[in-house]
Chains A and B, each alone.
Chain A
Amino acid sequence: MSEIITVGVAQIRYSSSPAVLRTILGSCVGICLYDRVKKIGGMAHILLPQNQKNNPNLEKYADTAVPLLVKTLLKEGSKKENLSAKIAGGASMFKFGSNISLGQIGDRNIEQTRLELQKLGIPLLVEDVGGNLGKVIDFYLEDGRMKVKSGGQEKMYYKV
């Protein structure tokens, strides 16, 4: 069994093959960034889209965590052209009052994450996002595949 590294809410973790990065998501979004040449990768688990008040915890927000995640792998020697991303999560509460803005946080997290990856020129290869189910994701650094477990079923995404 490979080492499983748990990524908590508002955390970034990175490692190398054959480690596995795991996280559990509700409305949060998990971003898996993989370097297919060096076989290293990192995961960010973001809670909110934007760090509006300059919170020191950069790992909590899509707009600060995504650049930090990319920077982390570049520092580890990755070349940007070898990096690609997969994202999962961003579920919404099944029903919520029309004026409850917190209800849209999942969608806002997804949108901001896409935007940040696009800004940095990182190709987004796979999205398993939205809906109302929670997700457990396992990110295998041996080949960059992502397993998403949701509602008692598993899906595997191999594209890197």
Chain B
Amino acid sequence: MDQNIKQRIETIISNIDQLPPLPEVASKVINMVSDPDVSFKLVAQEISKNQAMTANILKLCNSAFFSKGKEITSIDRAIVTLGLKEVKDIVLLVAAKPVLDKPVSGYDLAQGDLWKQGLAVATMSRDIAIAKKRKDCSDIVFTGGIIHNVGKVVIALFVQQAFRQILDLVQTGNIAFHVAEKEIMGYNHQEVGEKILVKWNFPPVLRSIVRFYQDPASAPPEHMFEVSIVHIANAICLMGGVGIGNDGLYHEIKDEAIKKTGLTQTELEEFYTRVPDILKQIRDLQ
């Protein structure tokens, strides 16, 4: 293990100011919406306070991806027309884009690659939830899909330095990339991602997605379904080459996740077949 890298990562994750910030409105809205008795009015007020974001939120409400046909000109209307959960997803998209739409050179991802991969994984995760008759969690796996890779933004700098060592260990030790990340640097991007979500005050299910998306069986049982969906969507998108970096396909598709979601072989191939369509769908969110 490289003690110097480990210490530098520790310094960053133990110092909240060094982790990427997110506009407060995003975490407020995410937590408000997880309360089933929340008042629509309060959520609309909270969002509208942030004028800079409101314009971008309305733009996305009217994008082909979210629009239901009628033009939406206010947050109130957006909540009524699209629903609270959709608007929450849109708020998160607007808030998280500046964090994720950056080059992540340690993983050999150009600007936009990580963001595009998050959008594709989010959309596929949502579709899997709906296909498995779990519309109730489709917005959660969408949000989880967007941010599942957020730790890479922070850890990339160190991966760049240690890349040869990590890849050598992957190939000689026959282990997955994120396992080698931890062996060499003391931490992997999932652990760092979880710290970021703690800073953002995100709910436990999203923290589980970020922390365990490579290893769903280790997630708390009550979150394993959501985590498994993002695990599978991430694997399928990478196989389709979406946001594939220098870690390649040194990842796993876990039987436990397939079992948990109840996806059949045919359904898995069908989702893989949909990759080009999903890329088209997310074009106006990029």
Q: Pick the residue among A93, A131, A151 that contacts B253 (CB under 8 A).
A: A93
B158 nearest CB across to chain A (Å): 15
Q: Is B241 an interface residue (CB 8 A)?
A: yes
Tell me the chain A residues, 140-155 only, with Cβ under 8 Å from chain B: 150-152
Quick check: B248 and A132 within 8 Å, CB to CB? yes
Quick check: A24 and B258 within 8 Å, CB to CB? no
Q: What is the bound-complex CA distance between A47 and B164, given in angstroms?
A: 29
Q: Is B276 an interface residue (CB 8 A)?
A: yes
Q: Is B275 an interface residue (CB 8 A)?
A: yes
Q: What is the bound-complex CA distance between A155 and B171, given in angstroms?
A: 19
B87 nearest CB across to chain A (Å): 30
Quick check: A9 and B253 within 8 Å, CB to CB? no
Most A-side CB within 10 Å, residue of B241, B242, B248: B241
Tell me the chain A residues, 28-57 only, with Cβ under 8 Å from chain B: 28, 47-48, 57
Q: Pick the residue among B244, B246, B272 that contacts A102 (CB under 8 A).
A: B272
Inside 8 A of A103's CB, which chain B residues have their CB? Answer: 253
Which listed segment binds A: B18-26, B55-63, B231-239?
B231-239
A95 nearest CB across to chain B (Å): 4
Q: Count the B residues whose beta carbon is within 8 Å of the partner chain — how many?
A: 34
Q: Closest chain A residue to B236 by CB distance?
A: A102
Q: What is the bound-complex CA distance between A93 and B272, given in angstroms?
A: 13
Interface of B is mostly: helix
Q: Indicate whether A9 sits within 8 Å of B248 (C-beta atoms), given known contacts A93-B235, A152-B163.
A: no
Tell me the chain A residues, 42-101 only, with Cβ under 8 Å from chain B: 47-48, 57, 60, 91-97, 99-101
Interface of A is mostly: loop
Q: Is B269 an interface residue (CB 8 A)?
A: yes
Query: Could you list some 19 contacts between A and B, CB below 8 A?
Result: A9-B241, A9-B275, A23-B241, A24-B244, A26-B239, A26-B240, A27-B240, A48-B272, A48-B273, A91-B248, A93-B235, A93-B239, A94-B249, A100-B265, A101-B269, A133-B249, A133-B250, A152-B163, A152-B164
- Could you list 17 further interchain pairs (A-B, Cβ under 8 angstroms) beyond the known A94-B176, A102-B269, A151-B248? A8-B276, A9-B279, A25-B244, A27-B239, A27-B240, A48-B273, A60-B276, A95-B176, A96-B252, A97-B255, A101-B269, A102-B268, A102-B272, A105-B272, A133-B250, A134-B238, A150-B248
Interface residues of A (CB under 8 A from B): 8-10, 23-28, 47-48, 57, 60, 91-97, 99-103, 105-106, 131-134, 150-152
Enumerate the 6 nearest inter-chain pairs by beta-carbon distance, A residue then B residue, closest first: A97-B255, A134-B244, A133-B248, A26-B241, A96-B253, A27-B239
